[in-house]
Structure 1
Amino acid sequence: MVRGLAQVLATRRHAARKHPYQVRWTSSLSTMKHTLVRLLIGTVHPPTTLLTQAVLALSDAVEAVRPDRQFPRLNPGKLKPGFHPAYCRTA
């Protein structure tokens, strides 16, 4: 939910740029991990200030979404038949 709010804020901030921007998923997980602990412990009063700071921090951690940047990944491990040597069956 917090990432959704940060995405709306980031979209408004970066509307004039060439590419659309999205909030980084890993940054949001990292920020919310620390924020959730502080909310549960109750060290910050009122908790809305902590959530507001988290939303503002997440709206700054953005990356550009460039069109046609999805390339198929070559995974040679899936192309080989059989098991990985560490997981081979013994006779």
Structure 2
Amino acid sequence: MRLLALAAAIALPTAALANDWDDQPITDAERASVMAALEAAGCTSPDSIERDDNGYDVDNARCGDGVYDIELDRDFTITERDRED
């Protein structure tokens, strides 16, 4: 009985970690929504799109005035742009 309780105590935190937002792969629908937001801002061709704690992280998007790392929230709103060049 104690062994079962110990196993459950170990499994619960492990399961919680597996469901962390930023540990999940980005879906095709999410990627399309991120790309739509980028295109609306005049940006294309990012090197990568990943989930992060607050939404999405885009590396090296090519925009009309330079290359940017861009962060979007979970509603696909751009929250930060950092020029890379």
Q: What's the TM-score once normalised by structure 1's chain length?
A: 0.26
Q: In proportion to residue count, which structure has more helix?
A: 1
Instruction: Indicate the structure whose relative CO is greater, using CA pairs within 8 Å and at least 6 residues apart.
Output: 1
Q: In proportion to residue count, which structure has more strand?
A: 2
Q: What's the TM-score once normalised by structure 2's chain length?
A: 0.27
